[in-house]
Amino acid sequence: MEPGNGGKKVTIRSARGIVTCPGRNFVTLKIETDEGVYGIGDATLNGRELSVASYLSDHVIPNLIGRDAQRIEDIWQFLYKGGYWSRGVVAMTALAAVDTALWDIKAKLAGMPLYQLLGGRSRDGVLVYGHANGADIEQTVDQVGAYCDMGYRAIRAQSGVPGVKGAYGVGRGDMYYEPADAALPTETLWDTAAYLNHAPKLFEKLRDQYGPDIELLHDVHHRLTPMEAARLGKSLEPFRLFWMEDATPADNQEAFRLIRQHTTTPLAVGEIFASIHDCRTLIQEQLIDYIRSTVVHAGGITHLRRIADLAGLYQIRTGCHGATDLSPVCMGAALHFDTWVPNFGIQEYMRHTPETDEVFPHDYHFADGYLHAGEAPGHGVDIDEKLAAKYEYEPRQLPVARLRDGTLWNW
């Protein structure tokens, strides 16, 4: 078909969710049109994969058939406003998958890589950060060195805390850290005092060893109270972090006022947000520096663009979530978004396993600390359905955390 079709209707003929587990579970929505052009979108929600797959097949897909695939905005509004019960993360993940697949189709119809359709290139490459972790400071310091050797310019560092079994972010000794490790949640321990004592030592060591130039990031993973977060931010100031992530749960956005008053360490929040309303106060009061929401959990390209535009008014930059539980389809779409978005900050990049990369052929690539979106029409990621069918769904949940006295805490 010739690029562009003069606005002629492109009818959605069929759509289906594809569940596969090449090392971890992924849900992918494939939308096919009567023009023979198809698009795919990531619909993966860690530990809730089948809930999204079911929501897609029960509610979303029957509502797509026969609609014009070109009307991305109208379909988005139909599923969001028209869905009525539509604001939860399961529904928003499903909506994101539809939106991503439709942008993929539109870009293929236009014969353009997606970033061109969004407004064109704003940068040459997408700065990414990798994940270094270890059971103790020494191992993490070595891992940071390994990431420097691979060409990374920005590295997230996490380390085990003495006496705390299963501290957040400590992998199983390879590059493919995956916390969803069992059919029922693994119970881990959390000890705030031990952590607050330990974390600054890690970054002191890292700056001693690697100097001032490498960008260092850290994820607190919702474990602290606002005042504890303020204290940590302050104690990390001498080590100039790129950001301190999810220092306290953001259910109460106003809590960040207190952290902000006490520290100049930049703050990042938002990987679990599903909507612009989850971060409105954080953005409008300039309580954060980076917004972490990404394509798959925040309503697709259409909605993420609105969040980024609002953030841009307040000099807040993007830092899209990019853990391994987001499929290469999300990564591909996010890279096109990152290539365009004017207020880009950084993109998280946890490498997928070779099995996952094989199921999802893609044209993005890593070089010198940057990821580069490909130039193929669409978002550049496909799914090998035959291969996908070989990997059956495996139930997996994320861990939970408890304090020493048994109190359930934020994981």
Work out what residue 46 binds among ligand CS2, Mg ion, none; the CB cut-off runs from 5 to 8 Å by kind.
ligand CS2
Rounded-to-10 torsion of CA 118, 299, 94, 83: -120
CA distance readout (Å), 145 to 130, 139, 149, 155: 12, 10, 6, 10
Contacting ligand CS2 (CB under 6 A), which of 219, 228, 278, 382?
A: 219
Q: 129 an active-site residue?
A: no
User: Helix H segments across 150-276?
Assistant: 192-210, 226-236, 255-262
Q: In terms of Cα–Cα distance, which of 387, 274, 392, 382 is closest to 30?
A: 382
* The token pair that represents 256 in the structure block: 């960040």
* The token pair that represents 351 in the structure block: 């490498």
Token match 């100031």: residue? 237
Rounded least distance, CB 290 to ligand CS2, Å: 12
Candidate list 198, 218, 221, 379, residue with the active-site label: 221
Q: 152 an active-site residue?
A: no
325 scored as a contact of ligand CS2 (CB under 6 A): yes
178 scored as a contact of ligand CS2 (CB under 6 A): no
Contacts of 5 (CB under 8 A, 6+ apart): 35, 109
Residue closer to ligand CS2 (CB basis): 33 or 44: 44
**Binding track over 245-284 against ligand CS2, x by CB under 6 A:** --------------------------x-------------
179 scored as a contact of ligand CS2 (CB under 6 A): yes
235 near 263, Cβ under 8 Å? Answer: no
Work out what residue 50 binds among Mg ion, ligand CS2, none; the CB cut-off runs from 5 to 8 Å by kind.
none
221 scored as a contact of ligand CS2 (CB under 6 A): yes
228 scored as a contact of Mg ion (CB under 5 A): no
Q: How many CA atoms within 13 Å lie on the side-chain side of 166? A: 18
99 scored as a contact of Mg ion (CB under 5 A): no
Q: In terms of Cα–Cα distance, which of 252, 355, 274 is closest to 95?
A: 274
Rounded least distance, CB 244 to ligand CS2, Å: 12
User: Using CB under 6 A as the criterion, which residues of the chain lie in contact with ligand CS2 when the complex forms?
Assistant: 46, 179, 219, 221, 271, 323, 325, 348, 398
Which residues are at the interface with Mg ion (CB under 5 A)?
A: 219, 271
Residues annotated as part of the active site: 168, 221
